[in-house]
Amino acid sequence: MTSSDGSWSDGSWSDGTRAVHAGLPEPVVGEPFLPGPVFAAPFHLHPADGPGQNDYARTSHPTRRRLEAAIGELEGGTALVFASGQAAITALLLAVLRAGDTVALPADGYFTVRAFAEGTLRDLGIDSILVPTAGPYPDFAGCRLVLLETPANPGLDLCDIRALSDAAHAAGALVAVDNTTATPLGQNPLALGADVVVASGTKALTGHSDVLLGYAATTDEALAGRIETWRKQTGAVPGPFDCWLAHRSIATLDLRLERQSRNAAAVAAMLAARPDVTAVRWPGLASDPAHSLARAQMRRIPGVVSFELASADRVAKFLAAAELVFAATSFGGVHTSADRRAQWGDDTAPGFVRLSCGIEDPADLLADLTAALDRA
């Protein structure tokens, strides 16, 4: 959507304004701000000329295009949405990599990506190397693709996107950044040198725990074309209602992130002061190893905090005692949630907890967490 003087496209608006207006059509008298989802699989074709802008929902769809326009405006590139974040990442990997290639993956990133590499990619003759997000880093010689995840999920380490993009490009590799935890209002990897961004829109981007969604965004139109071809041929598209829900939710992204980040700051400080809580990580803490890089690279720190309790049993008691914390395995939603990552196969300590701060009142959330930890 462009304003009358064209200032929308020049980047002069703030994050909150951009999120509210992203992907909206030009105003038409009598029409809604955001048109409702179009529930159609086939569309009318011209009897002689064939397809118009819409032909078949797997290949083109108006509700999906509006969402892609919104995400593209926020990430700064051409966006393609998928049925889930994992679908977006696997589409990128399989659109780019061929037998004999090597991909560098974050050793501490989303574990399902590593499992995909160790299974499907290996069976296709594609090698992978695991690199810790905080380093040390190899020279990437021989790599076709370097996938970064910063902040890493669930440990919240960061890496310098610009420096690693320069190093990877010098070695002839493409660079992808998983921007799930940060969101495009937290950082813009494409502006920092990455070739493509991938993310799960299921998490903070949509933020209401009711949508499965993923996306890839890039300024390389040839690469976008390859990823889109893969999507067309595999059919990993989200439905129109999911696209509409996601687009509707993006309007409040700035407001949600602001409260979640404020809650996380208070929660991280409280946890760090408790002797019965260890290994507290939140890049916004001055004592966090990633703090300096976070201040330089990110526009805001996400609402996810990680920490450790003494045992799996204490985590279970803590979650049972908390009234405002839902035990759930996602993050980024408006409700505070937490889970013990080791139960899902993550390489974490038995008492490692990923806590996702919601938008509850900060005083209420602190009081509930404190009481739950005391009772546990």
340 falls within a domain? yes
Identify the pLDDT of residue 51.
86
Q: 360, 11, 46: which is closest to 188 by C-alpha?
A: 11
81 falls within a domain? yes
* CATH code for the domain of 149: 3.40.640.10
Identify the pLDDT of residue 253.
98
**190 and 326 share one domain:** no
**214 and 273 share one domain:** no
Residue at a domain's end among 229, 250, 271: 250
**224 and 279 share one domain:** no
209 falls within a domain? yes
**284 and 312 share one domain:** yes
Question: In sequence order, what are the residues at sequence separation of 6 or more whose Cβ sits closer than 8 angstroms to the Cβ of residue 123?
Answer: none
Identify the pLDDT of residue 10.
54
Q: Is the separation of the CB atoms in 336 and 356 below 8 Å?
A: yes
pLDDT per residue of the chain (376 residues) written in tens, 0 to 9: 443 333 344 568 999 999 999 999 999 999 999 999 999 999 999 999 888 899 999 999 999 999 999 999 999 999 999 999 999 999 999 999 999 999 999 999 999 999 999 999 999 999 999 999 999 999 999 999 999 999 999 999 999 999 999 999 999 999 999 999 999 999 999 999 999 999 999 999 999 999 999 999 999 999 999 999 999 999 999 999 999 999 999 999 999 999 999 999 999 999 999 999 999 999 999 999 999 999 999 999 999 999 999 999 999 999 999 999 999 999 999 999 999 988 987 889 999 999 999 999 999 999 999 999 999 9
**244 and 262 share one domain:** no
1 falls within a domain? no
**183 and 297 share one domain:** no
Identify the pLDDT of residue 115.
95
At CA 28, angle to CA 21 and CA 79, rounded to 5? 40
- φ, ψ for residue 8, nearest 5 deg: -60, -40
Residue at a domain's end among 250, 282, 314: 250
CA neighbours closer than 13 Å in the CB half-sphere of residue 300: 24
Identify the pLDDT of residue 347.
82
What's the number of domains the chain is made of? 2
Q: How far apart are CA 64 and CA 2, in angstroms?
A: 19
Q: How far apart are CA 314 and CA 253, in angstroms?
A: 33
Q: How far apart are CA 376 and CA 374, in angstroms?
A: 5
Q: Is the separation of the CB atoms in 64 and 272 below 8 Å?
A: no
Length of the chain: 376
Identify the pLDDT of residue 4.
35
**216 and 310 share one domain:** no
Structural domain harbouring 338: 254-375
Residue at a domain's end among 212, 227, 250: 250
**161 and 239 share one domain:** yes
pTM of the model as a whole = 0.95
Radius of gyration of the CA atoms of the chain, in A: 21
Distance between start and end Cα atoms, the chain: 51
**15 and 49 share one domain:** yes
Q: How far apart are CA 299 and CA 284, in angstroms?
A: 11
Identify the pLDDT of residue 219.
98
Q: How far apart are CA 158 and CA 218, in angstroms?
A: 21
